A = this chain, B = another copy of it.
């Protein structure tokens, strides 16, 4: 080991065994004499593949959550069938619930939902919080359900035309319980509760705060 002052026992580095290199690189980075000099901070000691996978998981989950409003606003039963686990559950509050991806998909094509879409329906998703834990994840997100406001007076905004505007029909907190499968991340359970001052929505929201609670 030339050009180097070893500060701890170095693991052996079998160069003929490349499958372990990322893990070994990570171990090496923990050597503070090198890592701190280069990065001025403690290095991450998880294997490279784990770090990459966690990152890709988060980005895949962002896309999964981002695809929910388009599915709801187009009545896409094929989306629900594909992203809910076969035994997935949707619990929208007030006793409105469905069990199994087929039953959830059926909601999308129900006449009432089609009528809502025809009248103008927009599910508007806020920035989600993602708590990733290996092959499971819990996403906490806000949702607005918007519709045109036909009874309002039209208002003119310069350069943006005249519009009667839209109203916010519902505001809710979602908990998405996700699980990794060979076919990608799937929804095991989605729970939605109205943000109208009642406790159940707050219980959902507190999940995003759990890591901070632990640090206190």
| Residues in chain A within 8 A of chain B (CB atoms) | 1-4, 13-25, 28-29, 31, 34-35, 38-44, 47-53, 55-56, 58-59, 62-63, 65-67, 69-71, 73-74, 76, 78-79, 81-83, 94, 110, 112-113, 115-122, 124-130, 135, 140, 142, 144-149, 151-153, 155, 157-161, 163, 165-171, 173, 180, 182-183, 195-197, 201-202, 205-209, 212-213, 215-216
With A4-B17, A126-B126, A142-B125 known as contacts, the answer to whether A215 contacts B119 (CB < 8 A) is no
A116→B71 contact, CB < 8 A: no
A62→B127 contact, CB < 8 A: yes
With A145-B160, A160-B145 known as contacts, the answer to whether A55 contacts B53 (CB < 8 A) is no
Instruction: Identify 5 new A-B residue pairs, CB closer than 8 A, beyond the known A13-B16, A79-B212, A146-B168.
Output: A18-B25, A70-B140, A70-B209, A126-B126, A152-B167
Classify the interface of chain A: helix, strand, loop or mixed. Answer: mixed
Inter-chain CA distance A98–B209, complex, in Å, is: 21
Q: Which residues of B contact A112 (CB under 8 A)?
A: 158-159
Q: Which residues of B contact A117 (CB under 8 A)?
A: 197, 202
B165→A157 contact, CB < 8 A: no
A216→B81 contact, CB < 8 A: yes
